[in-house]
Structure 1
Amino acid sequence: MNLLLLENEDLVQPDLAIIRDQRLQHILDVHRASPGDTLKVGVLNGKMGLAEIQTLDRQQATLRLALHAPAPDPLPLTLVLALPRPKMLRRCLRMVSELGIKQLYLIHSFRVEKSYWHSPLLDEAEIHRTLIVGLEQAKDTLLPRVEIRKRFKPFVEDELPHLLHDRLGLVAHPYSATADELPRPLTRPALICVGPEGGFIPYEVEKLLEAGCLPLDLGERIYRVETVLPLLVGRLFST
């Protein structure tokens, strides 16, 4: 935890917070802090700064806040991601949060098993907790927004064209043509579609291109989703 992230319910005054949950255990067991020590803190969707520990015991910590710094700039990227298998989903959500991606659409695809949609990891509270871990790692406070779309065709035909109105759309998929002519780093906001393991099927690629996306060939290697995300950000954006 590189940043102690506070939520509004932790604030008893604008500059005073009390915490009693697992974050308290982290302060005690990892930071081994004492009253008078300072910690790097941020308020969810707010500013960052320092907190001086006023009181500290096994029941609670009282923190005096001095918040002055804005959150890091978001990555100008909307990610459309075919729902990964549950084992990978948590890592992907955390990585989205760490990379500064602020808008994520989890969509269905032919190669996404229907059982994946019943994963408890898709619970709103569980998604929130996982994203928070990524923010704490990256020292960020702006929570990504996660949208779930269980039907591929309605999303691609009805929503995707509107999302592409002011964004460059790309499909990260092995393809006969490539988008090598793109300036790198990208000079405009982008939307990138990433398929499941094994990729989108040809019909899905065709629908994504019809909606206004361009093909982006990452080469001959077949990557895991968790590998593709940092690879894409590294290739297309200056971070």
Structure 2
Amino acid sequence: MNCILLPVENVSSGVAHITALTQISHVQTVLNAAVGDTLKIGQLGGNLGTAVIDSMTAECIQLINVKLDMCPPAKLDLTVVLALPRPKVLRRLIMDMTALGVRDIILVNSYRTQKSYWQSPMLERLDEFVLEGLQQGIDTIAPTITLEKRFKPFVEDKLASWIKGSAIAAHPYGAQSFSQFLRQQPSLGLPSLVCIGAEGGWIDYEIALLAAQHCDAVHIGPRILRTEAAVNAILGQWLL
């Protein structure tokens, strides 16, 4: 954790309390903090700042001199449509996309998404993974996360409303590279929406449906990457 994020109800009139056991453990065992030390904190949905440890027990850390005077970093002007991945990969991807500052995340079904993934208990823990990503990226504003279990109706009926400029679908067999795509339309800048498949990528039928909504298939080189590697490689362009 690069900062400790607190819910609104834990912050009041210059005093705050850390009550989440994972955060208390991090402060005590990872930061090795003691009474009198200053911590980087933030209020979920609000500002970032600092506070001083006033008292500390195994159940609660009381903070004083709370100063929340820094605005969180701006979100990326970006929506990521991600084919629901394997459950053990989902946590890392949600954390990474949140830390990178993605504004909207849409988890969608795909041909290569196994039906069992939609019954995974990991989907009940998305808020937990978002919090981890926010604390990693030193941010307080959570991305919106939408679940779409039917690929074709989503693409045909809803996808266009999410596209504010251009859109791409990451596809290792796309006819053009991401850099070629950007050079062809420099006035538009980076896309407003990126579609990324699960392991194995999109099938041709899905690419055709996406193309019908003006979502261009692009590749990022000759190597076939795991989903989490592809997400970070592509989204890193927005940080540059």
Q: Is the 8 A contact 2:174 2:218 kept in 1?
A: yes
Aligned residue number for residue 189 of structure 2: 187
Counterpart AA for 2:143: P
Paired residue type of 1:112: T
Cα contact 1:76–1:188 (8 A) shared by 2: no
Superposition RMSD in Å: 1.8
Q: Is residue 231 of structure 2 the alignment partner of residue 229 of structure 1?
A: yes
Please list every run of 5 or more consecutive structure 1 residues that lacks an aligned counterpart in the other structure. Answer: none
* Aligned match of 2:129: 130
Once the two structures are superposed, the pairs formed by residues 36-51 of structure 1 within 5 Å of their partners are: 36-51=36-51
Distance 1:128 1:29 in 2: 24
> Size of the alignment, in residue pairs?
234
Q: Separation in 1 of the partners of 2:147 and 2:224?
A: 25
AA matched with 1:172: A
- Which residue number corresponds to residue 20 of structure 2? 21
Which of structure 1's runs of 4+ aligned residues deviate more than 6 A? none
Structure 1 residues 192 and 14, CA gap change in structure 2 (3 angstroms): farther
**Distance of aligned partners of 1:83 and 1:200 in 2 relative to their CA distance in 1, 3 Å threshold:** same
TM-score (normalised: structure 2): 0.92
C-alpha deviation, 1:185, in angstroms: 11
Which string of whole-angstrom CA distances, capped at 9 and with x for unpartnered residues, describes residues 127-146 of structure 1? 00111111111111111111
- TM-score, with length taken from structure 1: 0.92
Partner of 1:205: 207
CA, structure 1 residues 115+18, in 2 after alignment: closer, same or farther (shift >3 Å)? same
Distance 1:81 1:185 in 2: 26
The Cα offsets for residues 166-221 of structure 1, whole Å up to 9 and x where unpaired, read as 23210110223445141489735510000111111111100001012112122221
Q: Does the CA contact (< 8 Å) of 1:82 and 1:195 recur in 2?
A: yes
* Alignment-derived partner of residue 67 in structure 2: 66
Q: Which amino acid aligns with 1:101?
A: V
* Partner SS, residue 182 of structure 2: coil
User: Which residue pairs with 1:220 in the alignment?
Assistant: 222
How far apart in 1 are the matches of 2:10 and 2:114? 39
Q: Unaligned stretches of 5+ in structure 2? A: none
The residue type paired with residue 203 of structure 1 is Y
Q: Name the stretch that deviates more: 139-148 or 58-67.
A: 58-67
Name the % identity: 38
Q: After superposition, what is the alpha-carbon deviation per residue over 1:104-139, rounded to whole angstroms, capped at 9, x for unaligned? A: 00000111110111100011xx10011111111111
Residue 93 (structure 1) shift = 0.8
- How do residues 104-123 of structure 1 correspond to structure 2 at under 5 angstroms? 104-123=105-124
Shift of 1:63: 1.0
